[in-house]
Amino acid sequence: MLSISGEEFLFWKNKQLSKGGDQQSFAVLLDCIGGISVSDQNLININPEGNLRLKKNLEFLESIWGEHLLKSCPIQYLCGITFWRDLKLKVTNKVLIPRPETELIVDIVFNIFRKKSEKLLFAELGTGSGAISIALAMAYPFSDGIATDIDQDALEIATKNYKNSSNQSNLKFYCGHWWTPLESFKGKFDLAISNPPYIPKSTYENLPKEVKIFEPKIALIGGEDGLKHIGEIIQKAPLYLKEKGWLILENHFDQGEKVKQLLIKNQFKSVEIINDFSGVGRFTIGRYK
Ligand SMILES: C[S@@+](CC[C@H](N)C(=O)[O-])C[C@H]1O[C@@H](n2cnc3c(N)ncnc32)[C@H](O)[C@@H]1O
């Protein structure tokens, strides 16, 4: 551990931020690699007379920040870590960095299933880093969850994240195309959640390069109109959900109404579009019959 005065640290931090990048990414770097928690970062802003203890020296942190700015590589991939809700998750370029807006999916589930003692059987299709499933498995300790993904590398990361976050054993990981690995659970799920790839192909081409170059394409593109995977998930959902089971989907900012119509067409009831924090109809939910 290296000790540094608050004043020296703040001077150095401002110098780094003046080169570019955003505060949030810098905070991730300081926390994950520097070993300075976000609360300690805030504290030193208020009281610069204090001292800080660093896990790595400033030159090393500066070199990672420089690489982030030069290559536009997301800081989470360079640090190998991201924070999502109250989880600290390992991420590599095999998994999408779970987004802050997706955190709301967990709150939507909390709003539907209010008792944490519920014994639910839930599925998450396309788990990536495992963020959503891990949060749910930990919040509902008497429930069982199955998280699937087409990518075995992603599932290995999700499994590690689950082991690092929880000492329970109520979440399993299966590999395969959407519902396919869940054949033996037909008609049994109380709840299924998915944040599938939903970006239309033409929109993908114009995404910022930090997303396009570094994040897995398979996690992002949803065919020509973005609805290819959402449509398939909805169409097969009635085979796998219990009667009155819920399907909760994340979609692109302008897809809510179309996803709503797809759910209605497939006999879902209580269909609703739910806004994210920026007022975008980001989630569409429904209950099977
Ligand atoms: C948008 S990412 C979501 C990851 C994670 N659930 C989250 O919210 O951060 C979509 C995920 O779906 C997976 N996926 C893509 N095509 C799939 C398919 N045909 N079957 C199952 N999973 C698929 C990707 O590998 C990726 O992990």
Q: Per-residue pLDDT tens for 140-178?
A: 999 999 999 999 999 999 999 999 999 999 999 999 999
DSSP H helices in the chain: 6-18, 23-32, 38-46, 58-71, 75-79, 103-112, 131-139, 152-165, 201-205, 209-214, 228-240, 256-265
Judged by phi (left if over 0) then psi (alpha if -120 to 50, else beta), residue 81 lies in beta
**250: confidence class by pLDDT, cuts 50, 70, 90:** very high
Nearest-atom index, ligand 1, CA of 99: 9
pTM of the model: 0.96
Q: Above 90 in pLDDT, residue 60? A: yes
**CA–CA separation, 13 and 36 (whole Å):** 12
The label of the residue with tokens 């994040």 reads 215
Confidence at residue 1, expressed as pLDDT on a 0 to 100 scale: 78
For atom 13 of ligand 1, the residue with the nearest CA is 126
For atom 4 of ligand 1, the residue with the nearest CA is 128
> What is the pLDDT of the chain when averaged over all its residues?
97
Q: Above 90 in pLDDT, residue 289? A: no
The DSSP element (H or E) to which 248 belongs, if any, is strand 241-250
**Cα–Cα nearest to 251, from 218, 225, 206, 284:** 284
CA of 58 to the centre of ligand 1 (A): 36
